[in-house]
Amino acid sequence: MTIFDWLNEITGAKRPWNGFTDDAKESFNSYMISRFISMKRDYIDVVNIAQKYTLPKGKLYEFYCALLPKSKSFFRYVKSTKSINQDQVNALAKYYMCSTREIIDVLPLLEEQEIERTFNETQGYVSAQKTKKRKTNSKTNVTSDKKSRKTKG
């Protein structure tokens, strides 16, 4: 059985656990079932209660069947929209002197340019570019001074 078959059993048919074959029982994934059920706001508290205890598959199935209403339900799975670059998270955490968990929470609020600038700054890329520019600027000043001396003398 697929995860969607299990979700339909829990919210619709509600057959007893003993009515399933051993293969079907084996395909019951407690973590994924709980994750999908928790995507519906009305059922978050039920999943929270269930996760406080380590229940065997059959008991968890019966628990959900007993507490969730018998109705056709659609469980929308919310995916992560953006992959997280762990190097950037670590660099930002070091830069702002906070935990990586806090950075992950704040990351959607930061603009991409701000993230890149801060990451590059912590890696030393910006400071290296600034020093190169300063060296070239100082050389141009020296050459312009020599030209002005020649024209005067």
What does the pLDDT look like over 28-48, one tens digit per residue?
A: 999 989 988 988 888 889 999
Residue 81 tokens, joined: 């929209």
pTM: 0.50
Residue 57 tokens, joined: 């598959």
Residue 25 banded pLDDT, cuts 50, 70, 90: very high
Query: What pLDDT is recorded for position 69?
Result: 83
Residue 26 banded pLDDT, cuts 50, 70, 90: very high
For the chain, give every domain's residue range: 3-67, 80-125
Lowest mean pLDDT across 1-15, 19-33, 62-76: 62-76
Is residue 114 predicted with pLDDT exceeding 60?
yes
CA dihedral 128, 134, 135, 136 (to 10 degrees): 110
Short-list 1, 2, 9, CA closest to 73: 9
Mean pLDDT of all residues in the chain? 78
Is residue 134 predicted with pLDDT exceeding 90?
no
